[in-house]
Structure 1
Amino acid sequence: MPKGPNGEKRPADAIGLAVMIGKIATGEIEDTREGSSAAAQLGSLGGKKRAANMTPERRAEIAKAAAEKRWGNPPKQA
């Protein structure tokens, strides 16, 4: 049986993995995955520190740019 990135055993084929997921969903077996990684935790700390060091005006500037990027210039409808 192959091992995942953290050494956990998991099925090699798609059907075996589907059966395992079904068993986890129904509670037959326990999900053995760990929580978030150390890198993810450090990344969130860096983002908080960066936001704390930024002026409110700069944060507003970044937020406006992000909103424009996400919501501005909708695609033209035919």
Structure 2
Amino acid sequence: MIGKIATGEIEDEREAASSAAAQLGALGGKKRAANMTAERRIEIAKKAAAARWKA
């Protein structure tokens, strides 16, 4: 199968599925952020930054 994808005989369908999922995830995140207050978004961002720099 890898050889067929490399030679162009068939298309790799996994790329299309993963990009569609990524697009839906991005839309969900934007919708979630739109429904939050600014204070809540700041609280989440601070928690994420603390976790990121902890390691």
TM range (shorter): 0.5 to 0.7
Aligned residues: 49
Q: State how 1:1-78 maps to structure 2 within 5 Å.
A: 2=1, 10-11=2-3, 37-72=19-54
* Structure with the greater alpha carbon radius of gyration: 1
RMSD: 2.9
Q: Which has the higher helix share?
A: 2
Report percent identity of matched pairs. 66
TM-score (norm 1): 0.47
Provide runs of 4+ in structure 1 moved above 6 Å: none
Q: Which runs of 5+ in 1 are unaligned?
A: 3-9, 13-19, 21-31
Structure 1 residues 9-66: Cα deviation after superposition (integer angstroms, max 9, x where no partner): x328xxxxxxx5xxxxxxxxxxx76666222111110000001111000000001111
TM-score by length of 2: 0.63
